[in-house]
Amino acid sequence: MDTQAILMDYIKKELMKGRNVDISPSDDLLGSGIIDSLGILQLVSFIEERFNFQVPDEDVVFENFFSVEALTNYLKNAQAAA
Amino acid sequence: MIRRLLILNGLAILGVILFHSSGWGFVAMFAWVHRYMPATTDTFAQAGGTAYYAFRLIEQLIVVSIPAFLFVSGFFIAFATGRTHKTVGWNIVGARIKNLLIPYLLWSLLAFAMGMVLDGRRLSPLAYVQLLLTGGATPAYYYVILLCQFYLFSPFLVPLAKKHWVLLLSVALVLQLAVQILQYPVILGLDVPSGMQPFVDRVPKWFFATRAFWFTLGVVFGFHLKTLKAWITRYKWVWLGLTVVTYVLGVIEWEMYIKWSGHIGMAHRETLLDNVFSIAFIFAFFAFANVSILWSKQLGWLGGKSFGIYMAHVPVMEVTARAIYHLAPWLLAYQILFQPILIVLGLGIPLLLIVLMERSPARRYYQYVFG
């Protein structure tokens, strides 16, 4: 699975708990209530374990976690720069 | 530090479980004493014993739990605002409140039903509405109403937290301290002018001003993370020392208030000193971010489910304590047995319900039950 598919799978299974809501990679994760205060922390934890990549505190911002697409792009850029 | 927030949430929910099990411990020790001791026994005969001080030590440590939850929630608001937006979007605020209120309503209705079945307590529709609006279905649900208020204020707090954070923090602290000071006449058992009585009698726990500083601190931390992280790390030994000193002083302080007021069974309230302890604890926790914490993965896992555990543990603990009261009152005399039962069931049953729901076809409704 590629990064986007892995993230989408985690969000659907663990954060959305299989709710019958279709989400696309560009959907707003916060405004739609998919991610809350604990969800974002869980997502950071998951990324660090799954991709073996330490997300710097200053990178945990809305712009990078706004959507699955934004997060995928951030991870690609950050991992390439690391 | 971000990962540390989830661990802090995990510690905080464990703290809440211990706090409420200690609360039931005090009930067993004082109010239910005649279930296992002769009727002539003094209600407060066990005050000052080993179990009493064990509970006090736990209570004192746990005062940081609600501040920690609010700090994490405030931090989320900073995250949700982002770097480029002026303030947090109302759509995000609305989604958060919706995700809090639906489980809140469900668990509150369950608490009302339990009140009817167990105590035959039937109130007027207006009284039920009043309880719902003030988080009064159980003594613990005020937290949801408190948090909703902060989320509603957050679009106005964010611009201040970005540009005038020192002023904002100062105002929030002064507001919180002012409200807490109002409780001191009750704590000390002092006579107050009658006009002041309504304010002094009860400052409701759901009122935002009682905890205004903690949420604001979280928001400010989120926006000025680099600066504040460097600052708290520079003084890390100060925070650690202050945590230990204020913890010990807090225990002594409350014992002195009990002696002065003469109210042996007085429920603990947050004192001014407790604020210093909570600040020092939170700062020390992040200042030593490089120190690994035992069972951090498990604590993080608990932290991720903290809201569900918070809502579900209240009825579970109440049913457990009452069942023991009716079926095995002798257990109430042995806190060494009573406490582990409360803690294991108070944490275990909510976790079991959460895990079962996650793995069942009903998981699509999980958010409505456990948030």
| B199 vs B264, more confident | B264
Assign B188 a pLDDT band (cuts: 50, 70, 90): confident
CB contact under 8 A, A62 and B80: yes
Does position A34 have pLDDT exceeding 60, yes or no?
yes
**Cross-chain residue pair A30–B92, CB shorter than 8 Å:** yes
| pLDDT reading at B225 higher than 90 | yes
Mean pLDDT of B8-19: 96
- Tell me the average pLDDT across A48-73: 92
pLDDT at B190 over 80: no
User: What is the mean predicted confidence (pLDDT) over B36-54?
Assistant: 88
Residue A13 pLDDT exceeds 90: no
pLDDT band at B315 (very low <50, low <70, confident <90, very high): very high
What is the interface pTM, i.e. ipTM, of the complex?
0.88
Stretch B217-221: mean pLDDT? 97
Residue B213 pLDDT grade (very low, low, confident, very high; cuts 50, 70, 90):
very high
| Residues B270, B180 contacting (CB under 8 angstroms) | yes
The answer, yes or no, to whether residue B269 has pLDDT greater than 80, is yes
Q: What is the pLDDT of residue A22?
A: 78
From chain B, the residues in CB contact with A58 under 8 A are 225-226
Q: Please indicate whether residue B265 or residue B238 has the higher confidence score (pLDDT).
A: B238
Check residue B198 and give its pLDDT: 58
pLDDT at B197: 59
| SS3 state of residue A10 | helix
pLDDT band at B328 (very low <50, low <70, confident <90, very high): very high
A6 touches chain B (CB under 8 A): no
Q: Please, what are the domains in chain A?
A: 3-81 (1.10.1200.10)
pLDDT of residue B47: 87
Contacts A70 to B, Cβ<8 Å: none
End-to-end CA distance of chain A: 21
pLDDT at B204: 87
Asked if B6 contacts A38 with a C-beta cutoff of 8 angstroms, the reply is: yes
Percent of chain B whose predicted confidence (pLDDT) is above 70: 97
| B95·A33 Cβ contact <8 A | yes
Site from A10, A16, A38 to mutate, B interface, most B CB atoms within 10 angstroms: A38
Inter-chain residue contact A60 with B367, CB threshold 8 Å: no
Q: Rounded distance, CA A58 to CA A23, Å?
A: 27
The reported pLDDT for the residue numbered A80 is 86
pLDDT at B200 over 70: no
Q: What is the pLDDT of residue B196?
A: 60
Higher pLDDT, B185 or B327: B327
Inspect the interface and report whether the beta carbons of A41 and B3 lie closer than 8 Å: yes
Please give the model's pTM, rounded to 2 decimal places.
0.93
Is residue B339 over pLDDT 90? yes
Mean per-residue pLDDT of chain B = 93
pLDDT tier, B202 (very low <50, low <70, confident <90, very high otherwise): low
Per-residue confidence (pLDDT) for residue B330, from 0 to 100? 95
More confident residue, B337 or B45: B337
Q: Is the pLDDT of residue B274 over 70?
A: yes
pLDDT tens for each residue of B32-41 = 999 998 888 8
Other CB atoms closer than 10 Å to residue B38's CB: what's the count? 7
Contact at CB, A30 and B95, closer than 8 angstroms: yes
Residue B96's identity, in one-letter code, is R
Residue labelled with tokens 């409360």: B342
Distance between B301 CA and the closest CA of chain A, angstroms? 8
A31, B5: Cβ pair inside 8 Å? no
- Mean pLDDT, range A67-77, rounded to an integer: 94
Between A31, A42, A48, which is nearest B89 by CB? Answer: A31
- What digits encode the pLDDT tens for the residues B93-118? 999 999 999 999 999 999 999 999 98
In contact, B51 and B334? CB cutoff 8 Å: no
pLDDT at A23 over 90: no
